[in-house]
Amino acid sequence: METENNKGGANPAPSAAIGNASHYHSKKDRIFVRAIQGQYSLKEELDRLRAMPRVRKGSQIKFIDGPQAFSRHYVEPKDGITQTFHLHLEEYGPGGRSQKHGHVNEAAFYILDGEGYEIHDGVRYDWKAGDIAIVHNNCVHQHFNASNSKPARALVIKSKPMYLFMNMLFQQQVEPRPSVAASGGEGFQVREGESNYNHAD
């Protein structure tokens, strides 16, 4: 006599047990980013890039923000000049600090002058002129000028355009840039137009 479980002949193989394993720990390959695609011919893009300026005059790019941390953006993703990096200058007034934030992309800070330190995920890292400070992926960080009498300056290179292109957009501000000058930095004017970019002792 045929039963509900064996209609039509042989019993089917028992179904596999449904697991409850987290996909975060799965060993299976996954697709993390969208497809990178476009026209096979790059003529139009090459024509566009070759028409872009190869030198951007610093005197035409003004500092923004302040009064503790100032930024001069030489190359940004929105400019369309580069495909893989973002370049800007940071200046910290005496006693100044940046916003506290985190983002997916890495960043390299070449310290041009001054002395200061980073706080990365609660850990302090000291720096001075000539050093390179590396901000790793997904690190909550903040930059500090250790001097209450002299400014500090860093050239920053980031791979942000590539991350934006791959749709890896996360960036979160934890604490904004201060809106008032730090003690010792009252009246500080960002070094905007000087010919010698090294701070005098």
Domain ranges of the chain: 66-175
Superfamily of domain 66-175: Jelly Rolls (2.60.120.10)
The pLDDT of residue 153: 96
- Is pLDDT above 50 for 1? no
Q: What is the mean pLDDT of the chain?
A: 82
Three-state DSSP state, 116: strand
Q: pTM to 2 decimals?
A: 0.74
HSE toward the beta carbon, residue 198, CA cutoff 13 A: 4
- Is pLDDT above 80 for 76? yes
What's the pLDDT band for 199 if we cut at 50, 70, 90? low
The pLDDT of residue 59: 85
d(CA 54, CA 116): 33
Closest CA to 98 of 113, 118, 114, 124: 118
Q: State percent of the chain over pLDDT 90.
A: 45
pLDDT per position as a tens digit, 137-156: 889 999 999 999 999 999 99
